[in-house]
Amino acid sequence: MAKIIDGKLVSASIRASVADEVKALRENGICPTLAVILVGDDPASAVYVRNKQKACIETGIEPIQITLPKETTESELLSKIDELNRDSKIHGILVQLPLPEHISEEKVISKINPEKDVDAFTHESVGRIVEGKYSFLPCTPAGIMKLLEYYEIDVAGKECVVIGRSNIVGKPMALLLLNASGTVTVCHSKTKNLSEVTKRADILIVAVGKAKFVTADMVKEGAVVVDVGINRMPDGKLAGDVDFDSVSSVASLLTPVPGGVGPMTIAMLMCNTVFAAKRAHNNKKA
């Protein structure tokens, strides 16, 4: 039976150290502040935003929530971001995705000052990740790297397979594994003989968005399997992209859903916000 990778436990320890750091910063008059913009009334997005706000409060970070109606125009949203870019009290800006269809996500993300880009989605942040010279890392892949580190899984020289090539998860995940000297293969919907590829993986990261997509026959005995997927099942429960019950008999380590990658994503957002606040303060002093 696979050992469970406990994202709740690891994220709690990260949040506790963020809280200590925030306390020290506040004692020095620095109040790390995160602005989260939500456009429209997508219920899943509202839950994600609420969880981020909760984590801010718990760690002492000041949350500023900006909720805009779904009719908000692209130029109104861009002006709002401009305003937040100029506000020196705001250290991090996050725009909850997806945006309503009439708004270009690319234009909106590009508008965020890279110094405040705590999601690491701007072109500048992505370019830095490609070069391996980053200040912010995208929260989900960064959280996964932290989990691997915590469980002392050395990536160097390992066969790493990532299923999914989204800009948010799959691609940056592959880059981080590559930066850690893994031998990386990225799979997607056009990949032929998927299970032949996945069966080579010492470390398998699954970010497909399809419930229970990866089954035991796709996994090498003893592999480390990280499930990024969050799928709402008809009974209202959450399921990952990995068939937990069957894969746990083959894998050596496995993340559950919920309680695996999800809590790490938010913990890394808190880390990025504190980093941004410290950097803004140091830049002001210089």
- Is 199 a residue that touches ligand NDP (CB under 6 A)? no
Residues sharing a CB contact under 8 Å with residue 258, sequence separation 6 or more, in sequence order: 230, 238
- Is 170 a residue that touches ligand NDP (CB under 6 A)? yes
- Is 138 a residue that touches ligand NDP (CB under 6 A)? no
| Environment class of 107 (CB within 10 Å of its CB; exposed 0-12, middle 13-18, buried 19+) | middle
Residues 221 and 201: beta-carbon distance below 8 Å: no
Least distance between ligand NDP and beta carbon 263 (Å)? 8
* Residue with the shortest CB distance to ligand NDP: 166
Cα separation, 163 vs 141, whole angstroms: 13
Q: Using CB under 6 A, which of the segments 35-43, 58-66, 242-250, 258-266 binds ligand NDP? A: 258-266
Residue 39: how many CA atoms within 13 Å on its side-chain side? 23
Q: Which of 122, 265, 272, 273 binds ligand NDP (CB under 6 A)?
A: 265
- Is 261 a residue that touches ligand NDP (CB under 6 A)? yes
Residues 271 and 18: beta-carbon distance below 8 Å: yes
- Is 77 a residue that touches ligand NDP (CB under 6 A)? no
Confirm whether 171 is a catalytic residue: no
Least distance between ligand NDP and beta carbon 91 (Å)? 21
- Is 191 a residue that touches ligand NDP (CB under 6 A)? yes
- Is 120 a residue that touches ligand NDP (CB under 6 A)? no
Least distance between ligand NDP and beta carbon 221 (Å)? 22
Instruction: Identify which of residues 90 and 163 has a Cβ nearer to ligand NDP in the complex.
Output: 163
Cα separation, 34 vs 169, whole angstroms: 22
Task: Find residue 36's DSSP bridge partners.
Answer: 65, 94
User: Taking phi first (over 0 means left), then psi (-120 to 50 degrees means alpha), and beta for anything else, what does residue 88 get?
Assistant: alpha
The candidate with the shortest Cα–Cα distance to 266, out of 4, 18, 2, 5, is: 18
Q: Which of 96, 111, 146, 243 is catalytic?
A: 96
- Residues in contact with ligand NDP by CB under 6 A are 140, 163-166, 168-170, 187-191, 194, 207-209, 228-231, 261-262, 265
Annotated active-site positions, please?
52, 96, 119
